[in-house]
Amino acid sequence: MENSVVDRIADVDPSGPIDESIDRFESDGAVLEGLARSIPPERIAEHAPFDRMCALEQICQLRDLERAGWQRRFTATLAEDNPTIFNFDGAAVAAQSNYHAEDFAAALATWLQLRGELVTMLRGCEGPAFERTATYAETGRTHTLRELLAFALGHDEDHLIRLSRLAAHFT
């Protein structure tokens, strides 16, 4: 599975047509879901020697980032003039959470619902909306909505590779 994921990632051009980026953002959800579901349920909370996060932790982190990161950033960028946005400290959130006590199916369903909401929001935007900007509080760097979507795609890519490795290891 990992080679097909790597090939899929190699085809990404976040600076290309915005519809292609949104399509990719949507399809990443289905691919990530498939990879996560391919891991045997009894191994979903098991760590592999090559990754500090198990599949359950990755899905919970994706869900939390989708809600507290991408949704907040995208919404603010569309609603406000150059809003201040914030980094999502996934390690801090994970440390404060008890991901191992969470239900995998519920976390995955919530993440997929949140991803669907973001895709719908993005599909409802006209071209100029993707040039709206937001500034990260921590760095002072300003980015367009198009660039924020590219960052989200990059984060998806990381989890595509990691979950494909876990799936290959545990199946």
The CATH number of the domain holding residue 58 is 1.20.120.450
User: Along the 171 residues of the chain, how does pLDDT read in single tens digits?
Assistant: 444 444 444 455 657 899 999 999 999 999 999 999 999 999 999 999 999 999 999 999 999 999 999 999 999 999 999 999 999 998 899 889 999 999 999 999 999 999 999 999 999 999 999 999 999 999 999 999 999 999 999 999 999 999 999 999 998
Sheet containing strand 133-136, edge to edge, reads: 84-85, 133-136, 142-144
Per-residue pLDDT, 12? 53
The single-letter code of the amino acid at 61 is Q
Closest to 31 measured CA to CA, from 136, 122, 153: 153
Residue 90 neighbours by CB distance under 10 Å: 18
Radius of gyration of the chain (CA): 16
Q: Which domain holds residue 72?
A: 2-7+16-170
Question: What is the count of structural domains for the chain?
Answer: 1
